[in-house]
């Protein structure tokens, strides 16, 4: 069965950016949700994030939910990486057109989070918020090595430099985490425009309402009130075994298109 989750998506270009280079998709029939954050200058980032999302969507929809497994999603991201490299070579003089990506896939009472870059996946379970993904960023590497603290990382000059993205190298390495999903779990997929403005504690408080629509609106409002220097996108997914039908809600409040980030 694939119809055990409800989802809500919202995106905004932010307060500063003139374009929205984030892209997202809810593929509720296959229990897959995707957020991508483009980078590259001019409109290359917008092209990159949309290509990643579209490639995953096309791959998934060629298969039934029963046929689909996590390796198909990895292959789709690898295909998007190849296509972006070809696009850059053909149209951009080999300048960068890249994108982060984070994906949630739920099947057989297991969840799979796949990611490249620093767009994040969180899990709220029993009131406890956990970051499931791990940023592919220079800052995160410095934290892991003990060079700087989490507190020092917030305003560090390297805070926008990522170490992995789709479309910037010949091969892409996709990280995957698998674990058991439980009724009542709430997942958040988001671009770094959200986490750049809100702390994990801010996010946890926004997820307290029982309605994921209310939570999504609270997250967006909080990031915009704080100045939203980047594009902001989030998808909230609630897993509930009692659901007999998908209730998918999608709101896109981006009123323009998108701006780049490789120095994200």
Name every residue whose Cβ is closer than 8 Å to that of residue 59 and which is 6 or more positions away in sequence.
Answer: 72, 73, 75, 76, 79
Taking CA atoms, 73 is separated from 34, 46, 59, 180, 238, in Å, by 11, 21, 8, 19, 21
Residue 259 lies in a domain: no
Residue 257 lies in a domain: no
Q: Considering its fold, how many domains does the chain have in total?
A: 1
The whole-angstrom separation of Cα 171 and Cα 182 is 34
Question: Dmax of the chain from CA atoms?
Answer: 52
pLDDT of residue 131: 97
Domain of 24?
5-252
Residue 263 lies in a domain: no
Residue 166 lies in a domain: yes
CATH number at residue 93: 3.60.40.10
Token pair in block for residue 165: 């993205």
Element (H, E) at 227: none
pLDDT in tens, the chain (264 residues): 556 789 999 999 999 888 899 999 999 999 999 999 999 766 689 999 999 999 999 999 999 999 999 999 999 999 999 999 999 999 888 788 899 999 999 999 999 999 999 999 999 999 999 999 999 887 776 766 667 666 666 666 566 678 899 999 999 999 999 999 999 999 999 999 999 999 999 999 999 887 999 999 999 999 999 999 999 999 999 998 776 444 444 444 443 333 333 344
Residue 104 lies in a domain: yes
Name every residue whose Cβ is closer than 8 Å to that of residue 181 and which is 6 or more positions away in sequence.
Answer: 106, 109, 110, 111, 239
The whole-angstrom separation of Cα 93 and Cα 37 is 21
Residue 162 lies in a domain: yes
Residue 203 lies in a domain: yes
Residue 132 lies in a domain: yes
């Amino acid at each position: 069965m694939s119809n055990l989750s409800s989802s809500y998506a919202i995106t905004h270009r932010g307060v500063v950016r003139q374009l929205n280079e984030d892209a997202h998709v809810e593929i509720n029939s296959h229990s897959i949700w995707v957020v991508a954050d483009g980078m590259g200058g001019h409109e290359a980032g917008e092209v990159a994030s949309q290509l990643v999302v579209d490639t995953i969507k096309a791959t998934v929809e060629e298969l039934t939910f029963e046929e689909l497994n996590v390796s198909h999603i990895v292959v789709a991201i690898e295909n998007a990486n190849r296509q972006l490299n070809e696009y850059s070579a053909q149209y951009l003089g080999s300048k960068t057109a890249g994108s982060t990506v984070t994906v949630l896939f739920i099947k057989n009472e297991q969840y799979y989070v796949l990611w490249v870059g620093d767009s994040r996946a969180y899990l709220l379970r029993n009131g406890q918020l956990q970051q499931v993904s791990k940023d592919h960023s220079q800052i995160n590497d410095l934290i892991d090595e003990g060079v700087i603290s989490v507190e020092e990382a917030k305003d560090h000059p390297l805070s926008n430099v990522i170490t992995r993205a789709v479309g910037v190298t010949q091969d892409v390495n996709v990280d995957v985490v698998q674990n058991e999903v439980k009724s009542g779990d709430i997942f958040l997929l988001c671009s770094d425009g959200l986490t750049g403005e809100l702390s994990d504690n801010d996010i946890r408080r926004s997820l307290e309402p029982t309605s994921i629509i209310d939570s999504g609106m609270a997250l967006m409002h909080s990031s915009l009130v704080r100045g939203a220097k980047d594009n902001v996108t989030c998808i909230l997914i609630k897993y509930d075994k009692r659901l007999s039908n998908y209730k998918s809600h999608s709101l896109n409040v981006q009123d323009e298109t998108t701006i780049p980030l490789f120095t994200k």
